[in-house]
Amino acid sequence: MTSLTGWRRKRTSFDAGLSYREETMSLKKALFATVLAGFAFTSAASACEVTLRSSDTHPDGYPTVAAVEAMGETLKAETNGRLCIEVFHSKQLGEEKDTIEQTQFGVIDMNRVSLGPFNNIIEETQIPSLPYIFRSTEHMHKVMDGPVGQEILDAFTAHDLIGLAFYDGGSRSFYNNQKPIHSMDDLKGMKFRVMQSDLFVDMVSAVGANATPMPYGEVYSSIQTGVIDGAENNWPSYESSGHHEVAKYYTLDQHLIVPEVLVMSKMSWDKLSADDQAAVRKAAAASVPVMRDLWAKREKVSEAKVRAQGSQIITDIDKTPFIEAMKPVYEKYVTSEKLKSMVQRIQATH
Ligand code: BDP
């Protein structure tokens, strides 16, 4: 864990927005802001003039955490040590849904999150969150690196956020503590946790199971106490969260290849000079290949680890019935011409 002791902050431009925030935020939010502003007045014992605080739910050493740290190194070098990034990993700043709000309010400067928790607020983020929309990780990269990806990043601006980059999130599959799932029939009536997104609730209902949206940090104990039978996630999260210890049946149906996103608070962004904004964008872009490399390696390490620790991996799964059953989710969520065009362009990308 990062020690906050001895931190010192040199410049106060990022603090200027505080009175505005206090006026406009609810009492609860203002209180939280005040607590965090305490961090802001101190900065790492280094030459950094501004230290951007970035949130991540994952533990130290997880690819997303390491990638944002790598971005921080690039940014520091690009700005001759003026701009730095401090990653608050392991949910130190809270669960994703809450940290997203705090980022919109400028309390947190940056946030690395899944696209899932944005689904209910930014409709464009629903598109890469659709089940089986991507044929492979390569397909996802091609789309997210291209015009559709850019349109989705741009959509964050209207929600007080700046979309900086997409990161890999592997493919997500169901795991549970009851029985090996070999077909859709096996899922009937089972209870799975999903991220807090209506789309994912409908996706799970579509295959005959029950969805319980809840924060990531509650999943482990909810499986243990029988509130849910399981959840769904990628290899590294299944492993690093310890969920494999309490839910050993993992079925590779790979229903989602949902990317992760790195966003910045628009309030923090607006306080940067145009040159510094460009440096942030450049450093974020440079962190993408770093992340992809770390991710590919970590997927293998995590898979090997959960197998060695006794997870039963079901690979002989026919995805066709899952793909068919989940189609109504497209009908429900892909309604406007804009979203339809995105789906068509994704499907036409080879
Ligand atoms: C992980 C994502 C993380 C999400 C988590 C979840 O990296 O951002 O919080 O899944 O399921 O794969 O909530």
Q: 102 and 243: one domain?
A: no
**For 54-74, b where at least 16 C-beta lie within 10 A, e where not — what string?**
bbbbbeeebbbbbbbbbbbeb
Residue 282 shares a structural domain with residue 188: no
Q: Give the count of alpha carbons within 13 A of 182, CB side only.
A: 1
Low-confidence ranges of the chain (pLDDT < 50): 1-31, 33-35, 37-45
* Rounded distance from Cα 337 to ligand 1 centre (Å): 29
230 and 132 fall within a common domain? no
pLDDT per position as a tens digit, 84-142: 999 999 999 999 999 999 999 999 999 999 999 999 999 999 999 999 999 999 999 99
Looking at the fold, whether 24 and 119 belong to one and the same domain comes out as: yes
Query: Tell me, what's the pLDDT at 46?
Result: 61
| 113 close to 260: Cβ distance less than 8 angstroms | yes
CA-proximal residue: ligand 1, atom 5 (nearest): 216
One domain for residues 84 and 191: no
Examine the domain organization and report whether 59 and 184 are in the same domain. Answer: no
Statement to judge: residues 164 and 312 lie in one domain? no
Ligand 1: residue of 58, 68, 89, 114 to mutate (most ligand atoms within 8 A of CB) is 114
Domain co-membership, 239 together with 163 = no
pLDDT of residue 43: 46
Q: Are 163 and 177 in a shared domain? A: no
pLDDT number for residue 160: 98
How buried is residue 206: exposed, middle or buried, by Cβ count under 10 Å (0-12/13-18/19+)?
A: buried
Question: Number of structural domains, the chain?
Answer: 2
Residue 288 and residue 333 in one domain: no
How high is the pLDDT of residue 47? 80
pLDDT at 185: 97
Lining ligand 1 with CB less than 6 A are 57, 96, 113-114, 169, 195, 216, 233-234, 237, 260
Q: Does one domain contain both 284 and 339?
A: no
Q: Are residues 61 and 30 in the same domain?
A: yes
Q: What residues make up the domain containing 320? A: 172-257+306-348
**The domain spanning residue 105 has which CATH number?**
3.40.190.170
